[in-house]
Amino acid sequence: MTATTLYPPLEPHRHGMLPVDALHTLYWEESGNPHGMPVLFLHGGPGAGASPLFRRFFDPAYYRIVMFDQRGCGKSTPLGEYRANTTPLLVSDIEKLRALLGVERWLVFGGSWGATLALAYGQAHPAACLGFILRSPFLGTRAEIDWFFEGGRLFHTELYAELAAQVPPAERDDLLAAYTRLVFHPDPAVHLPAVRAWSRFECLRASLRGPARDEPLPQSDLLDIGLARLEVHYFRHGCFLAEDQLIAGMPRVAHLPGVIVQGRYDMLCPPLSAFRLAGAYPGADLLMVPDAGHTAFEPGTIAALMGATERFKLQGHFRRAV
């Protein structure tokens, strides 16, 4: 196995559905070593869902790999549901899953929005965390949400033009407001072109050289609906975080070990956020990947992430019961 080779594909050894309220039921799964170091993988988006590819960042002989689809995502039901869907509720869901699985403490691994949720969860429940691996961290600030559009306008102008083309000219000064109207419209003739355009605008900007071969892009209108509706919902509510809440809360978890992996040319979550986070997180190492964008599946990023999972294994932050 080389540094840029993922572990072989593996299947979950158990999975289930966890009702968390009267509306939402979450899909969860475990793979790897049932008695190994627990690691919680948090997917991005919001709304993207957990791809089986992410199991392969972890040594299955050592790690107890826990993944789940957040509210409204993937195999969780109802898909694309934005009601009763907030960051504090997602944090509460993680604790319900931890109790269900009988995990005392786990390593928390998240990229992009998954890093947002990892930090929000860790700051709410630091005693439940062994440490963090955070890729392309998104801090949920207004400047980052604005960059989602402005970065596209400046660097992926043709994709921005496609996104704006779905909106009447009079509404193009505020694309987030316009897409709030479009993606939640009850008529599929209105919302389907909008969610497809939103998903394309995001996914085609993720990789430095265009879509990576193994990148888990949305593959259906249902997945596009989940991604677009939940991202719009979270963006328009400031990710249900106070401005700069995650930086302000870092003293609660700054004693825990961490690794921050950032692509130098990330057009969705620019390096400034990673540098700000590293400055507030003395327990973390910042690894800048010089030839990568946003996706986890570019060679340098794969190497950095797998090196991080190997580091936690070798440093012995968990003693496996034999």
Would residue 294 show up in a list of annotated catalytic residues for this protein? Answer: yes
Would residue 112 show up in a list of annotated catalytic residues for this protein? Answer: yes
Q: Looking at 31, 112, 199, 273, which residue is catalytic?
A: 112
Print burial letters for 149-177: b (CB count within 10 Å at least 16), e (below 16).
Answer: bebbeeebeebbebbbebbeeeeeeebee
Given a contact cutoff of 8 angstroms between Cβ atoms, the answer to whether 267 and 294 are in contact is yes
φ/ψ of 265, rounded to 5, equals -110, 40
CA separation for the pair 307, 309 (Å, rounded): 6
Specify the DSSP class assigned to residue 210.
Answer: B
Would residue 125 show up in a list of annotated catalytic residues for this protein? Answer: no
Conformational region of residue 211, where left means phi above 0, alpha means psi within -120 to 50, and beta covers everything else = beta
Given a contact cutoff of 8 angstroms between Cβ atoms, the answer to whether 191 and 199 are in contact is no
Q: What tokens appear for 71 in the block? A: 């509210």
Select from 143, 97, 92, 90 the least CA-distant residue to 117: 90
- Asked if the bond preceding 78 is cis, omega within 30° of 0, the reply is yes
Q: Looking at 43, 191, 233, 294, which residue is catalytic?
A: 294
Given a contact cutoff of 8 angstroms between Cβ atoms, the answer to whether 260 and 285 are in contact is yes
Q: Which run of H or of E encompasses 248?
A: helix 245-248
Residues whose CB is less than 8 angstroms from the CB of residue 11 and which lie 6 or more positions away in sequence, other chains included:
31
CA separation for the pair 176, 157 (Å, rounded): 17
Q: Helix 113-124 to helix 87-101 angle, to the nearest 10 degrees?
A: 70
Select from 315, 314, 313, 260 the least CA-distant residue to 64: 313
Residues whose CB is less than 8 angstroms from the CB of residue 272 and which lie 6 or more positions away in sequence, other chains included:
none
Q: Looking at 69, 191, 266, 273, which residue is catalytic?
A: 266
- 3-state DSSP assignment of residue 141: coil
Just list the catalytic residues: 112, 266, 294
